[in-house]
A and B are shown apart, each in its own frame.
Chain A
Amino acid sequence: SQQGEEDPQALSIQEGENATMNCSYKTSINNLQWYRQNSGRGLVHLILIRSNEREKHSGRLRVTLDTSKKSSSLLITASRAADTASYFCARNTGGFKTIFGAGTRLFVKA
């Protein structure tokens, strides 16, 4: 079963708006990663945030991590139609295994 949970399951917004996706988990982590997947194809790595970091930025993406609440969020600013995809958080506890959540399906309307 998935041990990382994304919220919401689906999100529909207008182009230009911001999109926020949340991820919660139950056990301590070494790092947490966010990936994007277009139309059931391969996943594209977006950002990795380590357990001792609180915030990271990459272009229009901002990821925060709150280890006390065991949660992370991904913010996409000024969304575009091309941002339409599924977004997954994936956590690693320091071993070989990376655990993915069920994903948030984002739809950006032009």
Chain B
Amino acid sequence: ETGVTQSPTHLIKTRGQQVTLRCSSQSGHNTVSWYQQALGQGPQFIFQYYREEENGRGNFPPRFSGLQFPNYSSELNVNALELDDSALYLCASSPEIAGGKGDTQYFGPGTRLTVL
């Protein structure tokens, strides 16, 4: 167990809807990254938050947005869902000492999103 939790575990939405996924970081971690993992593929970096500010972003459109809260929990919001958004969404937290600079990440169990 990494201490990183995600909710919900599974989610089914229809095309065009909006979804919010939640992540609670491991205690003492102030950096969180979100990843999208399609079936049979490796995780793809969506974005990272460090001390409540977006610290960097991968090749995802603006309809993917996020928030990090003072208690370092975070949300991933996806608007106008498309069929290709069906995937496992993973959040990962890193400790203060890493400062978001690519050190060991502790992953949550993921949220499986299905878009119909």
Contact = CB atoms under 8 A, between A and B. Distances in A.
Interface string A38-49: 001111110010
A42 B109 contact: yes
Given A45-B105, A48-B103, A48-B104, A97 B48 contact: yes
Contacts of A98: 33, 45, 102, 105
B110 A41 contact: yes
A88 interface: yes
Q: How large is the interface on B (under 10, 10 to 19, 20 to 34, 35 or more residues)?
A: 20 to 34
Contacts of B35: 100
Given A96-B48, A97-B58, A99-B45, A42 B104 contact: no
B42 A101 contact: yes
A102 interface: yes
Interface in B22-46: 33, 35, 37, 39-45
A58 interface: no
A100 B101 contact: no
Interface in B63-106: 88, 90, 92, 100-106
Given A100-B42, A102-B41, 15 more contacts: A4-B42, A33-B105, A42-B90, A43-B105, A48-B104, A88-B42, A88-B43, A96-B56, A96-B101, A96-B102, A98-B45, A98-B105, A99-B45, A103-B41, A103-B42
18 contacts: A2-B42, A4-B42, A30-B102, A31-B103, A40-B88, A42-B2, A42-B110, A43-B107, A45-B107, A92-B102, A95-B56, A96-B102, A98-B45, A100-B42, A100-B44, A101-B42, A102-B40, A102-B41
